[in-house]
Chains A and B, each alone.
Chain A
Amino acid sequence: MELYDLTIHELHGKLKMREVSSVEATQACLERIGAVEEKVHAFITVTSEEALKGAAQADLRIAAGDMDILTGIPVALKDIFLTKGTLTTCGSRILDNFIPPYDATSWLKLKERGAVLLGKLNQDEFAMGSSCESSHFGPTRNPWDLERIPGGSSGGSAAAIAARQAIATLGTDTGGSIRQPASHCGCVGLKPTYGRVSRYGVIAYASSLDQVGPVARDVTDCAIMLGAVAGYDPADSTSVNIPVPDYAKALAIDVKGLKIGLPKECFISGLDPDVQKAMDEAIAVYKGLGAEFVEISLPTLDYAVAAYYLIATAEASSNLARYDGVRFGHRTETAQGLIDMYKKSRAEGFGTEVKRRIMLGTYALSSGYYDAYYLKAQKVRTLIMHDFLSAFEKVDIILTPVAPTPAFKIGEKINDPLQMYLSDIFTIPVNLAGTCAISAPAGFSGEGLPIGMQLIGRPFGEETIIRAAYTFEQATEWHKRKADI
């Protein structure tokens, strides 16, 4: 067991007992990054010097007895989080020179607790993608099979955990961008309820759906990270002002009598046989632990992807209007006047997937099409929310696969956007409903690829899904397997 293999809670124990220093742990992670990064490419920027400085400061805090569970823990952030003074690209050429003048609230909260920043992680450009292939800085590879995608958009956040380059990471999830990569890389990923975590300083994609959350080695680490970043922020008026529970208390082995819903629409023929097998086995484990299963129906599930690709692209077309070459980011060198400067700067700065989504969103919002597309999608969103609310009258949580298949091959879906979009069919409805869900390791395919299960909770029901995932984790060994890299 190397220092970079540890969980937050294990490393915290060693730091507290003075068995190791934060500088040693940080050095170990930086050396590990040096050793495997050429294969994985999880990072856009590695901040070695600042990391060692931060670690030395953390060691002083620990020596002074001023210690939090995150003090001295080396972490990394998706490159969508603004980090004051450190390059923040969002995976895009249009921001390839952007140095933020302030910190995202979620990073500030980790920093104040003494967490150490190792660097900024690769992602699909502007978080638009399910494979991490749309990054301007090149694709991240899945540590379990370097020919395969790590998932996306927070592909770097999951790959860095699976390759043991960081102890824990933060990602963002708009349609599955934390849960799907966590599933494909054998990590635990949690998408909190909309409003649970501040998005201040997080580069916006689709503002009614975006949410910040952790990717980590186990459920305990996820609970620790969520507790650190959750809470109301006056700087984000969409964050909700309700108290943050002590998520550590939810780490209990207890699913007796827990009612788990199985949506019949998710367990259709055509589901990958390995994924089906992993879900069947997970259900058997829960039954053995005393949970009860109830068949439920989410009749509008089949419409979620269509609604999502209108709502998300419409919001993106508006959010990304700010990249115009005036105040920050890339500006063309060949402009003939102002409008031409906008058009060329954006054409040069954005990649194909971002352009495609801006085009779709602009179309859906344009005169004559607004009612038929955008408004219709928002109405369908209401129906999807109602489906979930009715289901939660009968059950405590809902179990589904995270993705219909294990990680696919790099290049396999890049030229067929619709097929790529459909790989998010089980995760997208959760964002539309605004509720919370966790992705946890639940098995492996015949080819040795990780398979995750998704547990969906009620709005602000993070404690219940954490408890259910923790109980499963303590009864299984899936999360202990390591990618051979």
Chain B
Amino acid sequence: MKITREEVEKVALLARLDLTEVEKDIFTGQMDAILAYVDKLNELDTSGVIPTAHAVPMENAFRDDEERPSIGVDNALANAPERADGFYRVPKVIE
């Protein structure tokens, strides 16, 4: 086994996903099969190979730090599930 049900539960917590018991079972089997498949990458010798993060070589893109119009508070909050006094409203963070 490449991955156990306990590891799947740990990863689900990291990913902030509340999985059902059935989903945990199915994902354990499917992730196991996919991870076994991707193991074929180890057939390739990559010692000394530089990893590629982006296909096009790029440097940092700088621009002048000028004041520009933003979308504004009302637009930014327009899609919020809950809002209050110009802020996003969330459940209590600190008990």
**Chain A interface (Cβ within 8 Å of chain B)?**
97-99, 101-102, 193-195, 208, 234, 237-238, 240, 300, 302-303, 306-307, 309-310, 317, 321, 324-331, 335, 337-344, 346-347, 350, 352, 355-356, 358-360, 362-363, 366, 373, 375-383, 385, 417-418, 421, 432-435, 459
B38-A310 in contact (CB<8A): yes
Residues of B10-31 whose CB lies within 8 A of A: 11-19, 23, 27, 30-31
Return A400 CB to nearest CB of chain B, in Å.
18
B41-A433 in contact (CB<8A): no
Output the nearest chain B residue to A388 by Cβ-Cβ distance. B55
**Chain B interface (Cβ within 8 Å of chain A)?**
3, 7-8, 11-19, 23, 27, 30-31, 33-35, 37-38, 40-44, 46, 49-56, 58, 61, 63, 71, 75-76, 78-82, 88, 90-93
Please give, as numbers and ranges, the residues of chain B lying within 8 Å of A381 by CB-CB distance.
Answer: 51-52
Please give, as numbers and ranges, the residues of chain A lying within 8 Å of B3 by CB-CB distance.
Answer: 363
A331-B82 in contact (CB<8A): yes
B54: which of A208, A324, A330 is its contact (CB, 8 Å)? A208
Given contacts A327-B79, A418-B33, A418-B37, contact A382 B51 (CB under 8 A): yes
Return B40 CB to nearest CB of chain A, in Å.
6
B41-A102 in contact (CB<8A): no
A325: which of B37, B53, B81 is its contact (CB, 8 Å)? B81
A341-B54 in contact (CB<8A): no
B18-A346 in contact (CB<8A): yes
Please give, as numbers and ranges, the residues of chain A lying within 8 Å of B31 by CB-CB distance.
Answer: 356, 359-360, 363
B79-A324 in contact (CB<8A): no
Give Cα A280–Cα B9 distance, bound, in whole angstroms.
Answer: 49
Return B32 CB to nearest CB of chain A, in Å.
11
B49-A382 in contact (CB<8A): yes
Return A88 CB to nearest CB of chain B, in Å.
10
Return A33 CB to nearest CB of chain B, in Å.
27
B41-A327 in contact (CB<8A): no
Known: A355-B19, A381-B51, A383-B44. 17 other contacts (CB 8 A): A194-B56, A306-B41, A310-B41, A324-B16, A325-B81, A326-B81, A338-B90, A342-B16, A343-B13, A343-B16, A359-B8, A362-B11, A363-B31, A376-B41, A380-B41, A417-B30, A434-B56
B44-A385 in contact (CB<8A): no
Give Cα A362–Cα B8 distance, bound, in whole angstroms.
Answer: 10
B41: which of A237, A307, A324, A338 is its contact (CB, 8 Å)? A307
Please give, as numbers and ranges, the residues of chain A lying within 8 Å of B13 by CB-CB distance.
Answer: 343
A378-B56 in contact (CB<8A): no
A378: which of B53, B63, B71, B82 is its contact (CB, 8 Å)? B53
Identify the 7 closest CB pairs spanning chains A and B, nearest first: A434-B55, A378-B51, A237-B61, A328-B79, A331-B81, A379-B46, A347-B18
Given contacts A303-B44, A331-B82, A338-B92, contact A343 B55 (CB under 8 A): no
Please give, as numbers and ranges, the residues of chain A lying within 8 Å of B8 by CB-CB distance.
Answer: 359
Output the nearest chain A residue to B12 by Cβ-Cβ distance. A359
How many contacts A-B (CB < 8 Å)? 164
Given contacts A337-B91, A338-B91, contact A194 B55 (CB under 8 A): yes
B37: which of A208, A306, A327, A352 is its contact (CB, 8 Å)? A306
Output the nearest chain B residue to A417 by Cβ-Cβ distance. B30
Give Cα A375–Cα B53 distance, bound, in whole angstroms.
Answer: 9
Return B59 CB to nearest CB of chain A, in Å.
10
Give Cα A363–Cα B12 distance, bound, in whole angstroms.
Answer: 9
Given contacts A194-B55, A208-B55, A385-B52, contact A347 B92 (CB under 8 A): no
Give the interface centre of A327, A417, A432 by most chain B CB atoms within 10 Å: A327
A234: which of B63, B79, B80, B91 is its contact (CB, 8 Å)? B63
B11: which of A359, A376, A378 is its contact (CB, 8 Å)? A359
Please give, as numbers and ranges, the residues of chain A lying within 8 Å of B44 by CB-CB distance.
Answer: 300, 303, 380, 383
Give the interface centre of B8, B37, B52, B56 by most chain A CB atoms within 10 Å: B52
Return A268 CB to nearest CB of chain B, in Å.
16
A344-B18 in contact (CB<8A): yes
Please give, as numbers and ranges, the residues of chain B lying within 8 Å of A375 by CB-CB distance.
Answer: 51
Give Cα A383–Cα B45 distance, bound, in whole angstroms.
Answer: 10
Query: Can you show 16 pairs from A to B with CB atoms below 8 A apart?
Result: A195-B55, A306-B40, A317-B15, A343-B17, A355-B23, A356-B27, A359-B15, A363-B11, A363-B35, A379-B49, A379-B52, A382-B49, A418-B30, A418-B37, A432-B55, A435-B55
Please give, as numbers and ranges, the residues of chain A lying within 8 Å of B35 by CB-CB distance.
Answer: 363
Please give, as numbers and ranges, the residues of chain A lying within 8 Å of B50 by CB-CB distance.
Answer: 379, 382
Given contacts A363-B31, A378-B52, contact A383 B91 (CB under 8 A): no
B37-A383 in contact (CB<8A): no
A434-B17 in contact (CB<8A): no
A238-B46 in contact (CB<8A): no
A417-B34 in contact (CB<8A): yes
B54-A434 in contact (CB<8A): yes
